[in-house]
Each structure stands twice: as structure tokens, then as C-alpha cells.
Amino acid sequence: TRKCHVPRLEVDPIACEFLPPKGTSERDFTVMLVGDSHAGHWVPAIQTIAAERGWTLITHTKSSCAYLAAPLNGYPECTVWNEAVQRDMIMRKPDLVFTSMVTNHAAAGAVGQPDNQERLARGLIGGLMPLLDMGTPVILMHGTPRMGVSITQCLAENEGNPAACSVSREKAMGHGGAVSIAAALEPRLSLVDLTDALCGPELCAPIVG
């Protein structure tokens, strides 16, 4: 509703700022969240935590564009946007950074999926390195489920039976591991995996609770 999410063909960053609610004990603490739409999935949760703790939240998200210092196949707009976002984060000096991504991105020059995930991981580290060198804590979030179907359409076609739109956990979450690889390669990165809060042992459901 605030048009914070940058469309695929646009390159100019849109920094959306969410201030603590009036009446809260505002702290001098700024959190930034950057990445593609799967990073954007975490905005409501982090916004809630930020509001409770008196933090300021600033977001930079763009369609199909993970925060990487590595080019994606056929997507020069992503590279331009990432460079501008990195400059903005360095200038702002946030106290904490979150990022996440869907891992079906295709890194330029990759041959095979293992090489692709390795390139994505190293690109992620490269983009975050200036922040890490500044002493900024960075948290990598495992991606949200990739359901592979239109959930809204499926729910409409199965009214009263949302379980019919569930997808196997392996299918929804087993699509690459660049975030995990990055955390293993760079010990200054923290990895958070909330898959168990989103999916059961076997299935990822469209509605939980």
C-alpha cells in the first residue's frame, strides 16, 4: 500500500521507513531489511518486533532481486539496484540488518545447481561484507515456502478445506541452500531458520492457526 516494493524493471531504491508507534519508548536503534519478495515476506513480523522494542525499521525490497554482489542472468536492473542499496546502507550505518531470498535465482555464469548456489552464496557475502567490516550484525533468514501454485486461487476452489492447498515440505523448502552456504562460509553471519514455525514435518499449509 505504500509502494515500497520496487518493480522488476525499476532501478531506483525506495527506502520505506517504519517509525515506532507514538507513545512507545523510542530507542536510537535502526533495523534494515533488504532483498527480494521473499525477504519482504518478513516485513510484518520484523515490523511488529520493531514496534514493540521502539526500533526504526527501514526496508529495501525488489521483485526477483536478492541482495547480492553478483549478477543474475538477464537482470542488469538488479545489479544497479543492489549497488545503490549497498551505498544507502553504508551511509545509514544500521544497528542490525536482515536479509532473505528465494533460492531459485540464476547466477550469471553458473553451471549446474551446486555451482549456482555457491555463486549466490558468495554474492550474498560480497554484498554484506562492507557492513560486516563496519561491525554491523547481519541475520540471514531461511526463505519462506515456495508453494508453486496460486494459493488464493486454490483456497477459492477449495472453500472450507485449506488443507487441500498444502504442499510437501520438501517441495516448498527444498529449492537450494545459498543462505546456509553463506552462513557456513562467513562466521560473522547469523542464520535463523523458522521453517518449523511455517511448516509441519511433512507439509507446508497455506493457513496456520
Closest CA to 83 of 101, 73, 68, 99: 68
pLDDT digits (tens, 9 = 90+) for 117-135: 999 999 999 999 999 999 9
**22: confidence class by pLDDT, cuts 50, 70, 90:** confident
DSSP label of 165 = G
Closest CA to 124 of 145, 92, 102: 102
Q: Is the pLDDT of residue 151 over 90?
A: yes
Q: Residues of 8-40 as b/e, b for ≥16 C-beta within 10 angstroms?
A: eeebebbebebebeeeeeeeeebbbbbbbbbbb
For 17, the grid coordinates are 521507513
pLDDT digits (tens, 9 = 90+) for 102-117: 878 999 999 999 999 9
% of the chain beyond a pLDDT of 70: 98
- 49: phi then psi, degrees, rounded to nearest 5: -65, -45
CA dihedral of residues 154, 157, 159, 162 (deg, nearest 10): -20
Q: Count CB-CB contacts under 10 A for residue 203.
A: 15
Q: Is the pLDDT of residue 175 over 80?
A: no
Say what the pLDDT of residue 26 is. 65
DSSP 87-151: HHHHHH--SEEEEE--TT--BTT--SHHHHHHHHHHHHHHHHHHHHHTT--EEEEPPPP--SS-H
Give the residue carrying C-alpha cell 550469471.
Answer: 108
Q: Count CB-CB contacts under 10 A for residue 197.
A: 8
Mean pLDDT of the chain: 93
Average pLDDT on 93-99 reads 97
Say what the pLDDT of residue 103 is. 75
Say what the pLDDT of residue 126 is. 97
Average pLDDT on 82-103 reads 95
Say what the pLDDT of residue 208 is. 85
Say what the pLDDT of residue 102 is. 86
Three-class secondary structure of residue 61 per DSSP: strand
Q: How far is CA 138 from CA 35, 38, 53, 118, 168, in A?
A: 13, 17, 18, 19, 30
DSSP label of 25 = -
For 171, the grid coordinates are 517441495
Q: Is the pLDDT of residue 52 over 80?
A: yes
pLDDT digits (tens, 9 = 90+) for 62-71: 999 999 999 9
